Amino acid sequence: MLKYIVRRLLATIPVLLGLSIVLFAFVHLLPGDPCTAILGQRQTPAACARLRENLGLNDPLYVQYLDYIGGLLRGDFGASVINSKPFFDEFSVRFPGTVELTVAALIFAVGVGIPLGRLAARHAQGWIDGLVTAISLFGISIPVFVLGLVLVLIFGVTLGWLPTQGRIEARAGFEPTTNFLLLDTALAGRWDLFVDVLRHLILPAIALGSIPLAIIARITRASVIEVSNEDYVRTARAKGLTERRVDDRHIMRNAWLPVTTVVGLQVGGLLGGAVLTETVFGWNGVGRWVVDAIGNRDLTIVQSTILVFALIFLIVNLIVDVGYAFLNPRIRYS
């Protein structure tokens, strides 16, 4: 197992290197000039030339890329060209918000998607199965930002049940310690603010988790139906085991593997979807930060953020692969 983990970690190096090359080339193809974003009304040809020289933008692209990679190898992910703050100083402030949103969306997707998939499998080809299938198709088809705007209109504007912007009431005057607001408010004993943070989290989590929910429900349904037709399941029923015991010990235990794979893959989708979700709901997270960085041509922030997200995605998939051995003892890694 240890050798397998080491091999997988080493395999991430060429993946990240290839991603950095593609990302660097793509980012530099974006239209616009950093001088306009940074200097604004103070922009003059002379000032712009000095700025490009200071930022190294006049160097050939391969030189800029080698400088960037050299910084990464030293643990330096660069700094914002707008305010000169180091990448991780800003990232550490905003990342907890994205983690809270992603985890909440994943809990919503798994907590609703798996029961819906199991329900559809038990009533395969019936009206319940058709209803779940229709819900999953709707969830996959509607874009995150469209669903987000619809939720804002219905539950925020029309009904006024839930807040639609930010992570906490702006007038709360609460100073977070870790920037994980649920944790900070709980540790401070501010349960009123804890509830307020939860209320701010509901709509973005539903919008972000809608597509993963639909995918998880469909994969769970297909996996449960496939396992239910196996010989060992029929044998278990023939031995007189209760349906609940057959479901828990034989069907779901073997149906978890494809479901676990899909759940792991959805982490990448959630991180990507957080960009649109955070923009719609005014969520102070990494996704909204990247959108602002793209508008400001803050190339270092865009590149570093995507690389960190890619590393997180690779690590999550490694954890999922290792978890296979615990879900199914027949699987062993050499």
Asked if the structure places residue 151 within a domain, the reply is yes
pLDDT band at 39 (very low <50, low <70, confident <90, very high): low
Report yes or no on 206 lying in a domain. yes
Q: What is the mean pLDDT of residues 24-28?
A: 76
Total domains in the chain come to 1
- Does the residue 293 lie in any domain? no
pLDDT beyond 80 at 281: yes
For position 248, which CATH number holds? 1.10.3720.10
pLDDT in tens, 106-119: 999 989 988 888 88
User: Are 4 and 333 spatial neighbours (Cβ–Cβ below 8 Å)?
Assistant: yes
Over range 123-135, report the average pLDDT: 83
Least confident of 27-31, 59-63, 177-181: 27-31
Where residue 181 falls among pLDDT bands split at 50, 70, 90? Answer: confident
Residue 23 lies in a domain: no
Q: How much is the mean pLDDT over the chain?
A: 81
Which residue did the predictor score with more confidence, 190 or 6? 190
> Which residue range forms the structural domain that includes residue 123?
95-266
Q: Reduced to 3 states, what is the DSSP secondary structure of residue 79?
A: strand
Residue 257, domain member (yes or no): yes
Distance in angstroms between the alpha carbons of the first and the last residue of the chain = 6
- Supply the pLDDT for residue 1: 64
Share of the chain above pLDDT 90, in %: 5
What pTM did the predictor assign?
Answer: 0.81
Per the CB < 8 A criterion, the answer to whether 139 and 203 are in contact is: no
State residue 79 phi and psi, 5-degree precision.
-140, 160
What is the predicted pLDDT for the residue at 33?
65
Instruction: Give residue 275's identity as a one-letter amino acid code.
Output: V
pLDDT range class, residue 202, cuts 50, 70, 90: very high
* Residue 288 reports pLDDT greater than 70: yes
The answer as to whether 276 is a domain residue is no
Q: How many residues are recorded in the chain? A: 334
pLDDT value of residue 326:
67
Assigned domain for 193 exists: yes
Torsion over CA of 171, 177, 179 and 181, rounded to 10 degrees?
A: -60
